[in-house]
């Protein structure tokens, strides 16, 4: 069996294991809810993770040059860019796929497919670079949102409330 | 779905890295610590703000420092405060006793769904207080203390209260699903009240509350500034429509006193909502006045303590009595309406010096407001439309494809569900509902209510707003929804950034910040109103945007 065939035949089980790795970063009772609740409105993080991983998996398995930034993957990374974890922690899940696939290969006596596996790993690494771009764009977006809040004046409502009269008073005091 | 019991939670809740705090607890949740880092807490109140309210223990402190400089004997202060409130509020006692940890609320909170932090499950957030309550009051507490999950009041517990009572927007979605009707928001309110007793609070609540008390509105606008801002809006309305809508201020003998959140007077996009009010009142010739004293609908007392809530609510009624109006009309606000419908009557009511509101245009008597004497602008507008008193051209809003966000407080605290939808039907050609799991009583919060709409916790706001944004994304993709209508000032201020993050702009407009803009319902009304004497072929909306006219359709 070729690696490509293995990836295709084991898509569902590998994806399920991969999802466990990602959602397993949450506390056990959160994991239970995020894993089981299939309604996307009742479980946005679980849903975005599941669909994001599925699209990412298909990108990795496709030997053609597919667009890496698929809509669901971007959504998944938007979630991760907001969590208070480091960029390393947010992105490391990608490399778990190497372990998951290698384990499958070993189980099925396909250790000698190292050249194909190596090619798969190269695709993972290339994807990682593209994903870092998406991730940093998400972070950048948060800062832009904050800047927009200042530019539009909404910060007056959303930050320490100061009326114009108070600002004028403060300026006058500073000028003294 | 298997929902964990508290006993299970206690063992395993924090055996994995906590996604919110980044900590990696190794033990029972009761033995784990809450880690404060820049970005995961709102800034503490300035000492002068604490002193302004006459709250005790003002000082400079910071949550990310180990020593919070708590006063001597603070544990006793908290426990005495708890005892006093248990005696005063029967609901609190009930909520402490009757929870059976069924877990129905566990996965209903937007903070839990957006952060994945188990301590944001409403059942567990409430357990932070219940564990202390049981330690003081439960039978057999001395013998079975640990087994029952009881715990004494310690600094660690206090820090958890601060972290998680300020990761709850008191939106009450969890209470909709509670089979016992426990209002977890009131438990959050009590935790916040108790924290204030030892000088632990956040600035973005106490400063606006101080401003409201001093100048009448949470911006701290002085009367002349408040009036000037409205005059700017009057000028804009004149430019756009050709109509002079000059309102009056502090006018004795007016039939109606109109009170709305001051944000509507001051910042986008609320100012456009306000322009909508002005046009509506002009359209029907309403005899109303604005007040520079009761210049705030929002009640930051609700986020602070019951005494302050009563005081700020009382100002509106004091002004109504002074001016001698017949009744009060309230604008698009969130928590003003919760205070009004759930607490006003026992705090300051009944307002017998006012009359039961009766629409001077349709003759409708608003019996639902027989005691509070205050009517919601959407109730009032829907009644006008029902009686065919408004000349509307919904085509003018053809550039808008809205969905409607039920603001938590009007929806869950006063049952304002159908009126806004009735208005939307009349003022836009088409609009689309979000998924049924996310609207009406089950609406998801904007994620930034109850004083959490501050910039230092922007990422937290984006997380807690995810369930709401997720539902908007769905209708945006399916139906091309491009605006998010609502009836709350905090929504108008905070949903916009939420949309900017989750639904970034895809078009060619370099100035666009999102594909879904936030809009007050009354702005849509204002755009659709065909005014007598207006500019011929009016082609501008209240944001000076191009309107669809017969010519442009041509």
Whether residue A169 has pLDDT greater than 90: no
Chain A residues within 8 A of B454 when measuring between CB atoms: 158-160
Are the beta carbons of A25 and B204 separated by less than 8 Å? no
Whether residue B447 has pLDDT greater than 90: yes
pLDDT band at B11, cuts 50/70/90? very low
Residue reference for tokens 């004494």: B152
Beta bridge partners of B404: B485
Task: Look at B207 and A27 and tell me if their CB atoms are within 8 Å.
Answer: no
Per-residue model confidence as pLDDT tens digits over B497-523: 999 999 999 999 888 999 999 999 999
Instruction: Count Cβ atoms within 10 A of the Cβ of residue B38 and give its class: 0-12 exposed, 13-18 middle, 19 or more buried.
Output: exposed
| Chain mean pLDDT for chain B | 91
Give the residue-averaged pLDDT of B119-133: 94
Q: Residues 201..220 of B with a Cβ closer than 8 Å to A: which?
A: 203-204, 207-208, 211, 215, 218-220
Dihedral over alpha carbons B463, B297, B346, B123 (to 10 degrees): 0
Q: Cβ neighbours of residue B321 under 8 Å, at least 6 residues apart?
A: B353, B354
Q: Does position B334 have pLDDT exceeding 70, yes or no? A: yes
Tokens representing A147? 């800047």
Stated pTM of the model: 0.91
C-alpha B210, offset from chain centre:
18
Beta bridge partners of B358: B365
Q: How far apart are CA B245 and CA B242, in angstroms?
A: 9
**In chain B, what percentage of residues exceed pLDDT 90?**
80
How many CB atoms within 10 Å of residue B311? 18
| pLDDT score for A153 | 65
pLDDT at B149: 82
The pLDDT of residue B268: 85
Distance CA B114, CA B111 (A): 5
Who wins on pLDDT, B10 or B398? B398
Tell me which DSSP letter residue B541 carries: -
Interval B395-431: pLDDT, tens:
999 999 999 999 999 999 999 999 999 999 999 999 9
Q: Which two tokens stand for residue B511?
A: 């100035």
Would you call B459 an interface residue with chain A, using a CB distance cutoff of 8 Å?
A: yes
Q: How far is CA B37 from the centre of its chain?
A: 26
Q: Using only the alpha carbons of chain A, give its radius of gyration.
A: 22
> What 3-state class would DSSP assign to B208?
helix
- CB contacts of A142 in chain B (<8 Å) are 458-459, 462, 501
**What's the confidence (pLDDT) of residue B27?**
52
User: What's the confidence (pLDDT) of residue A112?
Assistant: 78
Whether A104 shows a pLDDT value over 70: the answer reads yes
Asked if the model's pLDDT at residue B1 lies above 60, the reply is no
Structurally, chain A folds into a number of domains equal to 1
pLDDT at residue A173, as a whole number: 66
Q: pLDDT at residue B13 above 50?
A: no
- Asked which of A11-20, B18-27, B111-120, B389-398 is least confident by mean pLDDT, the reply is B18-27
Q: Looking at the complex, does the CB of residue B442 fall below 8 Å from at least one CB of chain A?
A: no
Dmax over Cα atoms in chain A, in whole Å? 83
Is residue B109 within 8 Å of residue B121, measured between CB atoms? Answer: yes
Per the CB < 8 Å rule, is A84 touching B21?
yes
Please give the order of strands across the beta sheet that includes B327-330. Answer: B288-290, B256-259, B327-330, B374-376
CA distance A121 to A115: 10
Question: Which residues make Cβ contacts (< 8 Å) with residue A166, sequence separation at least 6?
Answer: B220
Tokens of B156: 């660690």
ipTM: 0.87
- Domain of A150 in residue numbering reads as 3-175
List all residues of chain B from 233 to 252 with a beta carbon under 8 Å from chain A. none
Q: Do B263 and A44 touch (CB under 8 A)?
A: no
pLDDT tens column, B67-98: 999 999 999 999 999 999 999 999 999 999 99
pLDDT above 50 for B482: yes
DSSP structure class, residue B249: B
Q: Does B37 touch chain A (CB under 8 A)?
A: yes
Per-residue pLDDT band for B549 (boundaries 50, 70, 90) equals: low
Question: Cα distance from B461 to chain A (closest Cα, Å)?
Answer: 9
Q: Please, which residues have CB within 8 angstroms of residue A80's CB and are 6 or more apart in sequence?
A: A90, A91, A135
Cβ–Cβ below 8 Å for B497 and A82? no
Sign of CA dihedral A165, A168, A173, A174: positive
In angstroms, the separation between the Cα of residue B264 and the nearest Cα of chain A is 10
For chain A, what is the mean pLDDT?
A: 86
- Smallest Cβ distance to B496: which of A154, A161, A163? A154
Going by the DSSP 8-state scheme, the letter that residue A124 receives in this structure is H
Residue B400's φ and ψ, nearest 5 degrees, are -110, 130
């Amino acid at each position: 069996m070729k690696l490509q065939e293995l990836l295709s035949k084991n898509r569902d089980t590998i994806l399920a294991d991969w999802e466990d790795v990602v959602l397993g970063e949450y506390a056990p009772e959160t994991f239970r809810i995020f894993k089981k609740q299939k309604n996307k409105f009742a479980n946005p993080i679980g849903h975005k993770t599941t669909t994001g991983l599925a699209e990412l998996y298909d990108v990795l398995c496709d030997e053609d040059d597919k667009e890496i930034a698929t809509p669901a993957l971007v959504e998944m990374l938007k979630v991760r860019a907001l969590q208070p974890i480091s960029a390393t922690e947010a992105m490391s899940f990608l490399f778990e796929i190497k372990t998951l696939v290698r384990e499958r290969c070993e189980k099925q006596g396909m250790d000698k497919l190292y050249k194909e596996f190596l090619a798969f790993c190269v695709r993972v690494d290339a994807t990682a670079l593209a994903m870092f771009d998406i991730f940093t764009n998400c972070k950048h977006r948060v800062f832009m949102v904050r800047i927009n809040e200042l530019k539009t004046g909404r910060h007056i409502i959303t930050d320490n409330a100061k009326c114009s009269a108070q600002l004028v008073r403060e300026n006058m005091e500073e000028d003294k | 779905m298997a929902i964990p019991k508290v006993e299970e939670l206690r063992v395993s809740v924090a055996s994995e890295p906590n996604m919110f705090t980044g900590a990696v607890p190794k033990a029972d949740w009761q033995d784990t610590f809450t880690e404060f880092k820049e970005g995961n807490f709102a800034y503490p109140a300035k000492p002068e703000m604490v002193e302004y309210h006459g709250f005790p223990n003002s000082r400079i402190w910071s949550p990310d420092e180990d020593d919070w400089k708590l006063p001597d004997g603070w544990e006793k202060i908290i426990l005495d405060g708890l005892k006093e409130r248990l005696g005063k509020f029967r609901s609190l006692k009930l909520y402490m006793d009757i929870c059976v940890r069924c877990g129905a609320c566990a996965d209903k909170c937007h903070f839990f769904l957006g952060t994945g932090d188990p301590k944001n499950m409403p059942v567990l957030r409430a357990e932070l207080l219940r564990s202390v309550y049981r330690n003081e009051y439960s039978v057999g507490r001395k013998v079975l203390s640990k087994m029952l999950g009881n715990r004494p009041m310690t600094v660690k517990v206090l820090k958890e209260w601060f972290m998680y009572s300020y990761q709850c927007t008191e939106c009450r979605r969890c209470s909709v699903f509670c089979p016992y009707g426990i209002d977890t928001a009131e438990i959050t309110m009590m935790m916040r009240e108790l924290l204030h007793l030892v000088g632990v609070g956040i600035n973005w609540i106490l400063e606006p509350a101080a401003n409201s008390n001093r100048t009448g509105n949470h911006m701290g606008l002085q009367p002349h500034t408040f009036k000037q801002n409205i005059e700017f809006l009057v000028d804009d309305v004149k430019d756009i429509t050709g109509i002079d809508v000059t309102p009056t201020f502090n006018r004795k003998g007016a039939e109606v006193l109109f009170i709305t959140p001051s944000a509507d007077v001051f910042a986008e996009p609320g100012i456009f909502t306000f322009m909508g009010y002005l046009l509506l009142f002009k359209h029907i010739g309403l005899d109303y006045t604005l007040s520079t004293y009761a210049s705030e609908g929002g009640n930051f007392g609700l986020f602070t303590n019951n005494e302050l809530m009563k005081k700020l609510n009382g100002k509106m009624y004091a002004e109504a009595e002074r001016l001698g109006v017949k009744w009060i009309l309230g604008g698009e606000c969130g928590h003003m309406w919760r205070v009004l419908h759930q607490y006003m009557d026992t705090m300051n009511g009944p307002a017998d010096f006012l009359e039961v509101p009766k629409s001077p245009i349709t003759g409708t008597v608003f019996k639902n407001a027989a005691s509070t004497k205050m009517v919601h602008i959407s109730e009032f507008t829907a009644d006008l439309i029902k009686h065919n008193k408004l000349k509307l051209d919904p085509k003018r809003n053809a550039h808008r494809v809205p969905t409607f966000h039920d603001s938590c407080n009007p929806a869950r605290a006063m049952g304002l569900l159908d009126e806004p939808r009735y208005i939307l039907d009349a003022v836009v050609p088409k609009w689309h509902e979000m998924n049924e799991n996310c609207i009406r009583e089950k609406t998801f919060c904007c994620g930034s209510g109850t004083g959490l709409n501050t910039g230092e916790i922007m990422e937290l706001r984006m997380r807690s707003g995810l369930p709401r944004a997720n539902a908007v994304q769905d209708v945006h993709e399916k139906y091309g929804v491009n605006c998010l209508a609502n009836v709350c000032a905090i929504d108008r201020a905070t949903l916009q950034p939420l949309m900017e993050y989750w639904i970034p702009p895809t078009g060619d407009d370099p100035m666009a910040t999102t594909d879904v803009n936030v809009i007050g319902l009354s702005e849509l009304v204002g755009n659709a109103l065909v005014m007598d004497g207006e500019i011929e072929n009016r082609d501008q909306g209240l944001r000076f945007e191009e309107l669809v006219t017969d010519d442009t359709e041509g």
